[in-house]
Structure 1
Amino acid sequence: MGPCTGIPDEALHASNVDTASRESGIAGIEQSGWKIGGWRGPEYAITVYSTARTVDQFENKPGNVDFADVTITGRSGRRFRVAGASKHLNCNIVFPAQQGVIQLQVLVRAALDNPPDPCEILARIGENLVPWFPE
């Protein structure tokens, strides 16, 4: 899956991100072994990653914490956060897929006075985006 091209604009608009802000890779640079697409909105940024890695590899990676089972639009995944200073600003879900996993990430803007819970945002926008992820 090419995350930057596999999700329709309507799903991105419904997720409150600007389709014109689309960026492939990390800071526009492609990453070996990953396909990455990201978009920004007024309160948060979302990134979708596609990789051959496994859910177990994410669970065993140092710094990935607070794992929990979740289901979004009938699809099971594992929610987690990345430890560190911005732990309360990020939330991720990895979904098993034929090629490995699809990861959906929300990063809330640190400059907000009262930042919303990124995992609540992730659950909400997942309803719009997860149906477009490959099985």
Structure 2
Amino acid sequence: MGHRITLGLLTSLLALGVVACEDTTHGATTTSTTTVKALFDPCTGIPDDVVLKAGADPATEESGIAGVHQSGWEICGWRAPKYFVTVYSTGRTVSEFERKPGNVDFADVTVAGRQGRQFRVEGASKNLGCDVVFPASQGAVQLAILNRPGQDDLQDPCAVLYRVGESIVPVLPR
């Protein structure tokens, strides 16, 4: 049952990450003009050895959110013993992430030599997760770490993100 609760929490949080960049105007959802075909696919673009170096298990790879593709996004996630690693790829811009209500605590950071914008998502899991979004020619790519609830001796998720980012960020599109 604990696994189902953790999976449910993760699914909810990942859905928040995708919804985190939707923008509605008078009930109509606006989308980026970048075609989905042009997006980087983290499941095929991040090699298994890179996932292993990030401390995650390549065999746990999951595309989309709970296996469901999200329009306008390419998403891939993996499990590590104490955290989840998720990479999002979108045609949206870093500015759109910054304007989304609920995305807070933005700061300029450098991960693996690449400039990005660190942020957190408001809510009950705010202190369990850390995200960095990087501009890319397609729009943006996002690296997210979410500590696994219920684990002992959890590290600061942003510290984990910087460590994981050393292997993953160099293979992300610019």
**Which range, TM-score by smaller chain?**
over 0.9
Give 1:120's match in structure 2, choosing from 121, 146, 159. 159
* Counterpart-to-counterpart distance in 1, 2:50 and 2:169: 10
Q: Which runs of 5+ in 1 are unaligned?
A: none
* Counterpart-to-counterpart distance in 1, 2:152 and 2:98: 31
Runs of 4+ in 1 over 3 A off after TM superposition: none
State the secondary structure of the residue aligned to 1:26: coil
* Structure with the higher strand share, 1 or 2: 1
Partner of 2:62: 23
Using the TM superposition, name which of 113-122 and 24-33 deviates more.
Answer: 113-122
Q: How does 1:54-133 map to 2 (within 5 A)?
A: 54-133=93-172
Percent pairwise identity: 59
State the secondary structure of the residue aligned to 2:68: coil
Offset of residue 114 of structure 1: 3.0
Structure having the higher Rg? 2
Contact 2:112–2:162 (8 Å) recurs in 1: no
Partner of 1:45: 84
Offset of residue 10 of structure 1: 1.0
- In structure 1, what residue type is equivalent to 2:73? W
Length, aligned pairs only: 135
TM-score when normalising by structure 1 = 0.98
TM-score when normalising by structure 2 = 0.76
* Counterpart-to-counterpart distance in 1, 2:51 and 2:144: 14
State the secondary structure of the residue aligned to 1:21: strand
* Structure with the higher helix share, 1 or 2: 2
Cα deviations across residues 29-49 of structure 1 (Å, max 9, x unaligned)?
A: 000000000000100001000
Using the TM superposition, name which of 54-63 and 109-118 deviates more.
Answer: 109-118
* Counterpart-to-counterpart distance in 1, 2:146 and 2:173: 23
Contact 2:75–2:88 (8 Å) recurs in 1: yes
Partner of 2:24: none
State the secondary structure of the residue aligned to 1:116: coil
